Amino acid sequence: PEHPGALQLLGLLAHGFGNRSVAINYMRRACAAPSAPALFHSNLAEMLRQSGQLVEAEAAGRRAVALDSRTTAGWSNLGIVLQEAGKLEESLQCLTRVCQIAPDSPEAHNNLGNTYKRLGRLNEARTEYEAAIRLNPSYAEAHSNLANLLNDLGRHDEALDMVRRAIELNPRNADAYLNAAA
């Protein structure tokens, strides 16, 4: 009943079915095992972040990267938690590390772009969003984020073209519609 691998799988299944509180309970139990790998803590961090439990999510993320300093998922999840907690300089460090470990990851560049944007470093944010799109031209979220940035820069026609592309790529991306409305 307390097998860490089984608990982690149950947590992932519960999360997949949208039962976040059950998922978190299983993941907490899996992470309590002394042998729990970094991935378990990283998954817990993401689930907690999605539930708005940023303090515990940060602790789980920090544990993940302490266990494995090369874990892209751990650094990425910790960086996003820190971003949402307003700890932008620390988020920048984490997400920069992800881009160093996995330079071909469009998600890593997109996430780093989000932190740069929150820091007001718009040129660097644009560079990261464009890198994400170069790596994956079908990455709707990066198109939407770049559209939002272009709108902030007063480049409304370019922003509208970009957000239309985002909607074309993923008609279920609610943020793209909000960006189009803006």
Taking CA atoms, 139 is separated from 48, 52, 53, 116, 167, in Å, by 25, 26, 28, 19, 11
What pTM does this model have? 0.91
- CB–CB of 158/150 below 8 Å? yes
Q: What is the mean pLDDT of the chain?
A: 96
Q: Is the pLDDT of residue 1 over 90?
A: no
Each residue of 77-98: pLDDT tens digit?
Answer: 999 999 999 999 999 999 999 9
